[in-house]
Amino acid sequence: MLYSVAAFATAILAWISYLFGLVFYRLYLSPLSKFPGPKFAAASKWYEFYFDVVLRGQFTFQIQRMHRKYGPIVRINPFELHVEDSDYWEELYTGSKEYERYDWMLGRFGANTTTSSTAKSDLHAIRRAPLNPMFSKRSITKFEPVIKEKVELLSKAIAAYREDGRLLILSDAFNAFAGDVIATYCFGFSYNHMESPDFIDNFHPAYEAVRKFAHLALHFPVAYLDLRSKIANIIDDKGVTHNQSRHPTIFSELLESDLPQQEKTVGRLGAEAQQMIGAGLETVAWALTTTVYHIIDKPSILKRLRAELEEAMPDSTVILDSLYLEKLPYLNACVKEGIRLSSGVSVRLPRVSQEKIMKYKDWVIPIGTPVSMTTIDVLYDQHIFPDSRSFVPERWLGNPKTKEGESLNRYFVPFGKGPRACIGINLANVELHLALAIIFRRFTFELYETDSSDIEMAHDFFVPSPKLDSMGLRVKVNAITVP
């Protein structure tokens, strides 16, 4: 008995000494010890755990506070640096095609075999290559008739709320719309979520559950396993069966591509499908929700947009092709400003260089160190986008420049940049132009118990999330002209 107490005490003592040694190493001997930042963050990942898991998606805001105190480059945990300097974005993301993603951050959705969760740049390039043609402007234009059908369904569903005066949760409608579009492009069929009563059957709640859990899964990956089955119940392996639809689908093309056989397993393609649906659904739906909220909320913007749409589409029953819609300056500016404010993903995007030495100004970054930036830091940068939290489409008209005379487009980073940038830009742009043109050509809305707190980011759950008790973007519908 005495022996086991002594052994236990020795083990505890050894453990405590190890912890002291580890913290001492991280604070004073690690190659990152010269970088500024809070000691607690440098000592342990529990710091990040506290802000993201206990306080629920708050670390991204804490990083911003660190920058205010310590400057543009900070050590945010024992292993990683974060930069807040909009001018550094291009260098970090387009500096080298060899930069990798950070392994540790990739398992958060329980899969590390998908294109977006592939750390190594050479394997990433192999996995991305057969997807690229499906997301080209040309391919998306071929798919556009299907998107138009979905927009008509959306319009029909919204019109039904006008007829019976019910309250419409537009954010749910957008989740159903974006989910039906991306599922159809992936598999050749969708679950017709737009036809479900009050859009109740959309994918968003399942993805939201996984995302809310992802900070914990990052620190304890094993905890993920259980949740994975939740999503698997919704998205089954139909995505990897052969395509019988009238247009090419992402997964039929992947199957027919010359990807090596081991890259075509049901397991890998199933995981790819889950992430593809999530990537295409949540970002587009949130961009639509954000944009529509601001347009409804600001009568002068609504008036100007409607005038442009009425002139371009005198007959509201005819939906113009996106090719023409993208040439409407004010609609285009509204789309861009909506995407800017909705900001894509709110999580930081690390890059790691295994060969080339990275630098930030005079700071030399040790090889193998993950360096991250966050889209919201650039997109909400007051210096580049004055009054950055307001919806101001006018800032995109003409040939907009920063105070320094740089093109404003240089800082339009919601899709990321470089070899790992969003693959779905063309699809997202077509969806947003078509949906917004039809919605504001055919309907007017009154906000119902919805304010900016239902739209502004309060939590980072990988994508921006508003306050936890938000009831969504709720409106009463009035029609101007409905076919």
CB-nearer residue toward ligand HEM: 422 or 475:
422
Q: What character string, x for contact with ligand HEM (CB under 6 A) and - otherwise, covers 73-112?
A: --------------------x-------------------
**Residue 458 buriedness (CB in 10 A; 0-12 / 13-18 / 19+):** middle
CB-nearer residue toward ligand HEM: 59 or 161:
59
SS3 160: helix
Among 420, 433, 441, 459, binds ligand HEM (CB under 6 A): 420
Q: Which of 234, 335, 239 is nearest to 292 (CA)?
A: 335
Q: Which of 348, 312, 349, 334 is nearest to 432 (CA)?
A: 334
Q: Give the helix/strand (H/E) hosting 83.
A: strand 80-83
Minimum gap (Å) between residue 46 Cβ and ligand HEM: 26
Dihedral angle computed from the Cα positions of residues 408, 414, 420 and 422, in that order, rounded to the nearest 10 degrees: -120
Q: Which of positions 115-154 make contact with ligand HEM (CB under 6 A)? A: 115-116, 128
- Is residue 182 within the footprint of ligand HEM (CB under 6 A)? yes
Which residue has the closest beta carbon to ligand HEM?
424
Q: What is the DSSP letter of 463?
A: E
- Is residue 287 within the footprint of ligand HEM (CB under 6 A)? yes
Of 64-72, 209-217, 365-373, 424-432: span binding ligand HEM (CB under 6 A): 424-432
Q: What character string, x for contact with ligand HEM (CB under 6 A) and - otherwise, covers 348-387?
A: -x-------------------------x------------
- CA 205/CA 15 separation, integer angstroms: 42
Minimum gap (Å) between residue 58 Cβ and ligand HEM: 20
- Is residue 279 within the footprint of ligand HEM (CB under 6 A)? yes
- Is residue 283 within the footprint of ligand HEM (CB under 6 A)? yes
Q: What is the DSSP string of 364-388?
A: EEPTT--EEE-HHHHHT-TTTSSST
Q: At what angle do helices 225-234 and 266-297 cross, to 10 degrees?
A: 80
Query: Which residues, at least 6 apart from 360, have a Cβ–Cβ distance to it below 8 Å?
Result: 72, 73, 81, 83, 85, 88, 371
Which phi and psi angles does 110 have, rounded to 5°? Answer: 80, 10
Determine whether the annotation assigns residue 186 to a binding site: no
- Token pair in block for residue 8: 């236990």
Among 339, 365, 430, 475, binds ligand HEM (CB under 6 A): 339
Minimum gap (Å) between residue 139 Cβ and ligand HEM: 12
- Is residue 270 within the footprint of ligand HEM (CB under 6 A)? no
User: Which residues of 352-473 form beta strands (DSSP E)?
Assistant: 358-360, 363-365, 371-373, 443-447, 459-461, 463-465
Q: Which of 289, 280, 282 is nearest to 341 (CA)?
A: 289
Minimum gap (Å) between residue 162 Cβ and ligand HEM: 27
Of 210-218, 275-283, 310-318, 377-385: span binding ligand HEM (CB under 6 A): 275-283
- Is residue 280 within the footprint of ligand HEM (CB under 6 A)? yes
Minimum gap (Å) between residue 105 Cβ and ligand HEM: 10
Q: Which of 277, 10, 286, 248 is nearest to 143 (CA)?
A: 248
- CA 276/CA 153 separation, integer angstroms: 22
Q: Contact 191/244 with Cβ under 8 angstroms?
A: no
Q: Which of positions 8-67 make contact with ligand HEM (CB under 6 A)? A: none
Neighbours of 103 (CB within 10 A): 15
Strand arrangement of the beta sheet that strand 371-373 belongs to: 73-77, 80-83, 371-373, 349-351
Among 370, 414, 466, 472, binds ligand HEM (CB under 6 A): 414
Minimum gap (Å) between residue 250 Cβ and ligand HEM: 8
- Is residue 344 within the footprint of ligand HEM (CB under 6 A)? yes
Among 239, 416, 464, 466, binds ligand HEM (CB under 6 A): 416
Of 355-363, 388-396, 404-412, 416-424: span binding ligand HEM (CB under 6 A): 416-424
- CA 261/CA 263 separation, integer angstroms: 5
Q: What is the DSSP letter of 188?
A: S
Count residues binding ligand HEM (CB under 6 A).
26
Q: At what angle do helices 329-342 and 266-297 cross, to 10 degrees?
A: 120
- Is residue 423 within the footprint of ligand HEM (CB under 6 A)? yes
CB-nearer residue toward ligand HEM: 37 or 350:
350
Of 15-23, 43-51, 193-201, 419-427: span binding ligand HEM (CB under 6 A): 419-427
CB-nearer residue toward ligand HEM: 76 or 313:
76
Q: Contact 324/74 with Cβ under 8 angstroms?
A: no
- Token pair in block for residue 19: 């912890």
CB-nearer residue toward ligand HEM: 277 or 313:
277
Positions in the binding site for ligand HEM (CB under 6 A): 93, 115-116, 128, 182, 276, 279-280, 283-284, 287, 339, 344-345, 349, 375, 414-416, 420-424, 427-428
Q: Which residues are annotated as a binding site?
A: 422
Q: Which residues are annotated as a binding site for heme?
A: 422
